[in-house]
Amino acid sequence: MMAARWPYDIGRGGQGGCTVFKIFLFVLGAVVLSANGGTVAQAAGPPLIRARLGSQGVAGNAHKVWVTRGAKISSSEAHATPQRAGRRYANAVVAIVMDDLGPDVTASRQAILLPPAITMSFLPYARDVAELVRAARARGHEVIVHVPMQPLGPEDPGPGALRVDLSAAQNRRRLSWDLSRIPGADGINNHMGSRFTADRAALEPVLGLLSGTRDFFLDSRTTAKTQVVPLARRFGILSAGRDVFLDDIQRREYVLGQLRQLLQLAERNGVAIAIGHPHAVTLKAVKWWIARHPGLHLVRLRTAVRLKARNAHLMTAGRAGPGD
């Protein structure tokens, strides 16, 4: 049985955003217990409590943090990965993205049944992408475009991939077509792209096009030589990198181990992002893991990317020092 979820709205923007966010997480329990300003949302499925955080400098469209509650699990599952009862991951924010959606309609529909905070990333050339995107949005998911890009090896990223041997105009046309296939997408991430994302000259025209939108760019980090994040930020594009791939090995034990790593990174750094794929083993493991972690702060990808970008900015400012 999937865990019930409590969503909390966190405003975008504002001065001292990281500090406000950490304070918010610290007092989250008190807010819930007092239900100060909260209202009960009427919806099918588990009961939801929505609390709006109001403070100076926190305004604009709201993000949701889904705080999972306990779920019924079997006795064998209860002994698989023991957790401290009632634990709250006050300093750990995680986001999970499901990649490669679209071509396999059945697997894509199974992924869409995951909790709404999980982001769905669709390949734009999939025949049924429009119908699947509608289903994902109806379920409440954030939707991004999984843009095919040239890899280093012989793998085929699919039709219309961005390539280093194409002109800037050709790559911009290809990206425009990708975005047109999923109107209103929240952002993009790269499908493959170990060759393309390492080439600054090829990236710049594409980022120039993207800078005219509200889209963010999640770097899937398919190469250690990627130039996406620093270059995207130069163009004013919200960007951050993936931390964990969940299912390079399609075994339950491996996926759960990667999810543990995700949580460890989030507890250490405040926020972490994972990418998975619609394999049956991944979908089952993710659903079980979320239900098994009461108090987990599962956020939409845009929220996690924004937090990572803020953390990077604060670290850079700290290294520079007041006199630099």
Domains of the chain: 93-294 (3.20.20.370)
What pLDDT digit, counting tens, does each position of 134-188 carry?
999 999 999 999 999 999 999 999 999 999 999 999 999 999 999 999 999 999 9
**Span 277-306, average pLDDT:** 96
- Residue type at 176? S
**Span 223-235, average pLDDT:** 97
**Residue 63: phi, psi to the nearest 5?**
-95, 160
What pLDDT digit, counting tens, does each position of 64-88 carry?
555 544 333 233 333 333 334 345 5
What pLDDT digit, counting tens, does each position of 250-264 carry?
999 999 999 999 999
Is a pLDDT exceeding 80 seen at residue 19?
no
H-helix segments, 74-221: 75-78, 105-112, 129-139, 168-181, 200-210
Query: What pLDDT is stored for residue 312 in this prediction?
Result: 87
pTM of the model: 0.74
Query: What pLDDT is stored for residue 295 in this prediction?
Result: 86
How many other CB atoms are there within 10 angstroms of residue 129's CB atom?
Answer: 22
Is a pLDDT exceeding 60 seen at residue 2?
no
Please name the residues in contact with 116: beta carbons below 8 A apart, sequence gap of 6 or more.
Answer: 5, 66, 139, 140, 141
**Span 234-254, average pLDDT:** 98
Most confidently modeled range among 18-27, 58-67, 197-206: 197-206
